[in-house]
């Protein structure tokens, strides 16, 4: 059976690293490239973090591309605090690979090129702000019809946010990009929204056993999460979108409806809006993840550190 071809777009913080480790451990997946976007930290740190993950997995042959350093409109950059200033718990060391390992081509053009080289075969897993994807579709409006599927971690289902009162982190950091992607991408879109990830989060007991495996990957994960876990519980937000991309049977129930993103509301800018009653008559609907086979998810996450 042929492998699933993935492009992964990240703002590499701790949960992106966990999702990447999951994909790198999946034998049925071929990662054609990793594109980087600002988000959990600066764009340079994001690139370094991706390279660190590839180094610990001995997969430095996978090309990494630098992408957007800020939102489409600018002026909405985060304070880079949730996962530490560098996005990976401020646990870098001198052995980390440098930016000279990046490709010369930028992320947006890499997304377009690789998709056009494999029309109808590539799925994108987008784990940060959607800036790179929005810029790509503006350069090549035919891009969405050439993608197989798009998996997104972002947005919210009930109007309760973790960045503002009403907005989820990834969508809030670039609402215009999220609006463009949810409006103009016509391929099947599968969204792991904030509430879905929180309702299916794993226990700290599982996490402690997970990072106590006697492997280089587990030791790496334990190191980069040490400070973060003192203040936060264990929610591997991005891993849910990645797990769905790897194995469709992991998500057992979806809500299918058209979605958009609020851009002008005084309080609700960046909030994902759901057309549950089909009033917009939009032909393209999103598949919003509702239920998860947690045993299968845990198996994938466990294998990520072996």
Q: Where are the domains of the chain?
A: 4-304
Residue 73 token pair? 């409109």
Q: Read off the pLDDT band of 117 (50, 70, 90).
A: very high
Residue 80 pLDDT > 70 = no
Question: Model confidence over 153-175: pLDDT tens digits?
Answer: 999 999 999 999 999 999 999 99
Residue 284 token pair: 């393209």
Provide the strand spans (E) within the chain: 4-10, 29-36, 64-65, 122-126, 150-153, 189-192, 251-261, 272-275, 286-292
Tell me the two tokens of residue 36.
């980087």
* pLDDT above 70 for 136: yes
Mean pLDDT of the region 216-223: 96
In eight-state DSSP terms, residue 159 is S
Q: Is 277 helix (H, G, I), strand (E, B) or coil?
A: coil
Nearest to 98 by CA among 147, 67, 54: 54
**Picking from 83-87, 214-218, 291-295, which range would have the lowest pLDDT averaged per residue?**
83-87
CATH tag for 4-304 (out of 3.40.50.720, 3.10.129.10, 3.90.245.10, 3.40.1010.10): 3.90.245.10
What is residue 71's three-state secondary structure?
coil
pLDDT confidence tier of residue 93, bands split at 50, 70 and 90 = confident
Above 90 in pLDDT, residue 231? no
**Predicted pLDDT at 33:** 98
Q: Tell me the pLDDT tens digit for each residue of 97-110.
A: 999 999 999 999 99
Question: Per the confidence metrics, is the pTM higher than 0.95?
Answer: yes
pLDDT band at 67 (very low <50, low <70, confident <90, very high): very high
In order of 16, 191, 196, the CA distances from 237 in angstroms are: 8, 12, 9
**Nearest-CA neighbor of 233 among 210, 207, 209?**
207
């Amino acid at each position: 059976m042929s492998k699933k071809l993935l492009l992964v777009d990240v703002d590499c913080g701790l949960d992106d690293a966990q999702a990447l480790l999951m994909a790198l451990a999946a034998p049925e997946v071929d990662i054609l490239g990793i594109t980087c976007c600002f988000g959990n930290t600066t764009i340079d740190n994001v690139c370094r973090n991706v390279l660190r993950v590839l180094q610990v997995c001995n997969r430095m042959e996978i090309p990494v591309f630098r992408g957007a350093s800020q939102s489409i409109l600018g002026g909405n950059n985060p304070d880079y605090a949730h996962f530490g200033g560098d996005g990976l718990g401020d646990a870098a060391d001198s052995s980390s690979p440098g930016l000279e390992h990046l490709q010369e081509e930028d992320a947006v053009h890499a997304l377009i090129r690789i998709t056009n080289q494999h029309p109808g075969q590539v799925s994108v897993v987008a784990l940060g702000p959607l800036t790179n994807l929005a810029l790509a579709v503006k350069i090549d409006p035919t891009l969405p019809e050439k993608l197989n599927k798009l998996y997104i971690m972002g947005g919210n289902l009930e109007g309760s946010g973790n960045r503002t009162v009403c907005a989820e982190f990834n969508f809030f950091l670039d609402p215009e990009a999220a609006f463009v992607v949810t409006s103009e991408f016509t391929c099947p879109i599968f969204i792991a929204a904030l509430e879905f990830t929180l309702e299916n989060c794993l226990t700290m007991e599982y996490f402690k056993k997970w990072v106590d495996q006697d492997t280089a990957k587990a030791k790496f994960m334990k190191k980069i999460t040490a400070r973060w876990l003192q203040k936060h519980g264990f929610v591997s937000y991005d891993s849910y979108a990645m797990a769905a991309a790897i194995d469709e049977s992991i998500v057992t129930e979806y809500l299918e409806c058209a979605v958009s993103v609020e851009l002008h509301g005084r309080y609700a800018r960046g909030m994902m809006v759901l057309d549950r009653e089909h009033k917009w008559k939009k032909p393209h609907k999103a598949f919003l993840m509702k239920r998860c086979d947690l045993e299968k998810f845990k198996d994938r996450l466990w294998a990520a550190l072996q």
